[in-house]
Amino acid sequence: MAAAVQQVSNAATLSSKKPSRLSDLVGNPSAASAVKQWAQEWADGKRPSPLLIYGPTGVGKTALAYAVASELGWETFEFNASDFRNDENVEKLLSNAAASGTIWGGMRLILIDDADALSGSGDRGGASAIARVLSSTKQPIILTAHDLYDKKLQPFRSICTPIPLRRVSQSTVASFLRKVAQERGIEIQPELVEKIAAASSGDIRAALNDLQSRNSSSFRDGKKGVFETVGAILKARDYKSARTAAYESEADHELLKLWVAHNIPYEYEKPFDLAEGYLALSRADIFDGRIKRTQYWGYLRYSGDLLSAGVAVAKEAPYRKFTRFSFPDYLREMGASKSSRSVRKGALRKIASFCHCSIPQAAGYLPLLEALASKDAAALSDFGFEEDEEALISKIKPKKSKKQAGDNEQNGKSQKTKSKGRRLPLENPKR
C-alpha cells in the first residue's frame, strides 16, 4: 500500500517540475542552442534583440526560458500578456523590471508568456507600450506565443528575433516517457508508453499528464499550425488525408482559404493542376457566398471539402519536392493599410452621423466635402474631424464635371481625326 502511495506521489509531480538545465529539455536542440547563445551574449555585456519563441502547445516554450535562466543563475520575472492592458500597467510592471537588474546587480530574465493573448478588446495602448520597452530594455526579455503570424504579434515581430519550436517526434516522446517512468519508479507496459506517445501529437505536457493517469484511450484533438496544414493539403495523396488536415487546423475557414489560394502556385507546376486547383477553390468560394446570403451553414461542409480535398485531388500526381510556403500577400497588404483604412472608416462614420445616412452612403459625400474644403477650410469644422481625417479628405480628387468630360471627349475625337487614314497595328489581324 505504501509503495502504491509513493508511486502516485511521484507521478503527481511529473508535469509540475520545470527543467533546470537546457540538457533536460526534450526535442528542438537547435532552438535550445540558439537561445543559449543569445543568453551568453547578454552575459558578456551585449544587448541582442528580445526573443519571440513560438510553437504549438506543450513543446516547451516556457520550459526553455526557465531552463536557460536557471543554467546562467538569472532571476526570472514571469508576466502574462493579458496583464498588460494599458500604458499604466506596462509602466508599473514591465518598464521597472526591464530598466534594472536584481538587488545584487545580477541579470534577470523577463518572460512574457502567451504574448498572442495581448491586444484583446480591452487593450488600450498596451501593445505599443510593450514594443517601446522591448526596443530599449536593459535586461533580457523572452516572449512566447503559438503562431508567429498572429496579427496580435505585429508590433513585436520587427523588434524580436523569432525562435521556432516544432512538435517533438513520437519516438523522442516515447523515449522520454520511459526515462521518466524509470526514474520515478512507475511501472507501465511498453505498449502503453507507445500509445501515449502517439496520442500526444508531440505535446510533452500532454504525454506527461497521460503517463500520470495511465491514459491512452482518449486520443487528443491536437490542432496544427497553418503552415503545417497548407503543406498537408497541397501535398496530400488522397481525399481523406487532405480533409483531415483542414479539420485539425487551428486556422479558421476564411484564413485557411487565403493561405491555400496564395500557395497553390508554389506547389503546383503543371497548368492543368493549377487550373483544377483554383477551380475547386472558386467553387468553395461560391458556397461561402451562399452561406452569407442564406445563413444556411450546412453549405460549410461542401466548402470545406472543396477547399481541402478538392484542391488536393486536383493534381495528377503529388510533387516530390521541398516547397517553402509563404504568408499571403493580401493579409500583408491589409495589415500595412490598416491605419489608413481605420482613418477613412472614422471619417465616414462622422459623415454618416452628421448627414443621417448609412456609412456606404456617406462615401458619396466625400467629393463634395473635398470641394467645400478647397474653398473654405472651416467648412468641415461641424463634422468634428480629426487632423488625419481632414488630411484624408483633402487628398480625394473631385469627380469630373460634365464640361470636363465633354472636353475630354472632344479631344479624343480630334485625336481620332488626326489618325484617320492610318491603319493602327493589331496583334492579330485575322481576328
DSSP secondary structure string, 125-164? BHHHHHHHHHHH-SS-EEEEES-TT-GGGHHHHTTSEEEE
Distances in whole angstroms, Cα of residue 254 to Cα of each of 35, 154, 261: 35, 20, 11
pLDDT in tens, 116-146: 777 544 444 567 778 888 888 888 999 998 8
Q: Residue ranges of the domains in the chain?
A: 2-14+168-213, 28-164, 226-331, 338-394
Summarize pLDDT for 335-360 with one digit per residue, the tens.
666 677 778 888 888 888 888 999 88
Half-sphere exposure of 269 (CA within 13 A, CB side): 8
Average the pLDDT over 16-25 and give the result: 74
Please name which of 91, 89, 65 lies closest in space to residue 77, comparing C-alpha atoms: 65
Higher confidence at residue 157 or residue 275? 275
Which has more confidence, 317 or 372? 317
In the predicted model, what is the mean pLDDT of residues 366-372?
84
66 vs 426, higher pLDDT: 66
* Burial of residue 177, with CB atoms counted within 10 A of its CB: 0-12 exposed, 13-18 middle, 19 or more buried: buried
**Cα 395 to Cα 425: distance, rounded to the nearest angstrom:** 39
CA distances to 112, 143, 200, 251, 422 from 430, rounded to whole Å, are 69, 65, 66, 51, 18
Contact (Cβ atoms closer than 8 angstroms) between residue 385 and residue 354: no
> Mean of the pLDDT values across residues 69-90?
76
Looking only at Cα atoms, what is the longest distance across the chain?
Answer: 109
What is the CATH superfamily name and number for domain 28-164? P-loop containing nucleotide triphosphate hydrolases (3.40.50.300)
At 218 the pLDDT is 47
| Confidence label for 106 from pLDDT (cuts 50, 70 and 90) | confident
154-173 mean pLDDT: 87
pLDDT at position 207 is 80
State the burial class of residue 241 (Cβ atoms within 10 Å of its Cβ: 0-12, 13-18, 19+): middle
Cβ atoms of 254 and 300 within 8 Å: the answer is: no
Residue 76: left (phi > 0), alpha (psi -120 to 50), or beta?
beta
**What pLDDT shows up at residue 36?**
92
Mean of all residue pLDDT scores within the chain: 78
| Range in 101-105, 172-176, 232-236, 323-327 with the lowest mean pLDDT | 101-105
The edge-to-edge listing of strands for the beta sheet with 51-54 is: 75-80, 108-113, 141-145, 51-54, 161-164
274 confidence band (pLDDT: 50, 70, 90): very high
Dihedral angle computed from the Cα positions of residues 214, 220, 225 and 229, in that order, rounded to the nearest 10 degrees: 130
The pLDDT confidence band at residue 96, using thresholds 50, 70 and 90, is: low
Give the mean pLDDT of 156-178: 87
Q: To which residue does cell 488630411 refer?
A: 391
Quick: pLDDT tens for 204-256: 877 887 777 665 444 455 566 788 889 999 999 898 889 888 888 878 888 89
pLDDT of residue 421: 45
Q: What string of DSSP letters covers 209-227?
A: HHHHHT--SS-----B-HH
Please indicate whether residue 399 or residue 187 has the higher confidence score (pLDDT).
Answer: 187
Decide if 163 contacts 141 (C-beta within 8 A). Answer: no
- Residue 186 sits at φ, ψ, to 5 deg, of -95, 125
